[in-house]
Amino acid sequence: MLKTNEKHLVEFLLQCQPGPPKARASWSVDHRGEPFLLPSIGGITLNVQAGDSAFGWAGDHVEPGVSCTADTHKPFDHPNNSLQIYSCVGNTATVASGEAKGEQGVVIGHHGGSEHIMIEFPRPVKEKLGYGDTITVHAKGQGLKLLDYPDIVPFNLDPGLLKKMKIRETGNGEIEVPVTTLVPAACMGSGVGASHVAKGDYDIMTSDTETVRKYGLDKMRFGDFVALLDHDNRYGRAYRQGAVSIGVVVHSDCLVAGHGPGVTTVLTCERSLIKPVLRPDANLADLLKIGAAARAPKGAKTKAKKR
């Protein structure tokens, strides 16, 4: 088992509310020059969840689960920036008010620009939520370290989720991390150059159909762990030969130039000490039994999609 500094991590209780869907005031234009009006970021999204395909939706930058904010009017200021930075993938979230009070969910990522965190709840819970309801996040993970691998830096990662990622130590200073997809550096777009990765995401560009086909990018699902090749995320998002970063897919494919499925970083290294291993079940839904992989009631048929 990986040795960490988990017992020294600071734990916060953070507060947020579901953020209403956002819309542009007019047409958007896609990378081919075609205008469109489609659902986009934000909202209590009833029929989109972890484990579902990140492609094929009649939308743009669609966020799975429940998009949450501490202050929808000041997305880049306190306390919303604290919610973004301290919430980690895998954190537990509890509904603290309203008809769904007491129900629990899981933080599945951050989305920059919209400045939301996304929380996965079962659909029956989402149908009870209102935009004035309060949700408490048990934030833990920022500052996590791998004690035997100081050059591999975790971000945005709950230590409990780290233990479930089926990471294998090779014995020669490297770790093998299960992922569904290998993403070439040339595909990384919107978000490159950000000063740090403790909030927000950056996008896997999907405008080149041949590259999408070659790397199977259109097979990605919400919640997939993916390997970003030749990308160093230690001090921002940068290209560096031999670097490897691991991220989680947090929003859908996009029509706008420079965009595509968004990724929240969870591990990064400037050298090739992270060895991605392809596994189709390297997904939050499969690991945590949430979203499309949630345990169905006894006798019921699951709706989880097969890869």
Contact status, residue 178 vs residue 223, Cβ threshold 8 Å? no
Question: pLDDT (tens digit, 9 = 90+) per residue, 190-235?
Answer: 999 999 999 999 999 999 999 999 999 999 999 999 999 999 999 9
Token couple for 174: 């490297």
Torsion of CA 181, 187, 193, 197, to 10 degrees: -20
Domain shared by 124 and 166, yes or no? no
Count how many domains the chain has: 2
In a domain, 99, yes or no: yes
In a domain, 62, yes or no: yes
Contact status, residue 192 vs residue 262, Cβ threshold 8 Å? no
Question: pLDDT (tens digit, 9 = 90+) per residue, 279-301?
Answer: 999 999 999 999 999 965 444 44
Whole-number pLDDT of residue 305: 42
Domain shared by 95 and 163, yes or no? no
Average pLDDT (114-121) is: 97
Q: What is the CATH number of the domain that holds 267?
A: 2.102.30.10
In a domain, 145, yes or no: no
> Which residues on adjacent β-strands are paired with residue 204?
188
In a domain, 65, yes or no: yes
Question: pLDDT (tens digit, 9 = 90+) per residue, 150-192?
Answer: 999 999 999 999 999 999 999 999 999 999 999 999 999 999 9
Domain shared by 170 and 280, yes or no? yes
In a domain, 265, yes or no: yes
Domain shared by 117 and 213, yes or no? no
In a domain, 292, yes or no: no
Q: What is the CATH number of the domain that holds 65?
A: 2.40.10.170
Which residues lie below 8 Å from residue 149, measured CB to CB, with a gap of 6+? 2, 173, 175, 273
Domain limits for position 157:
153-287
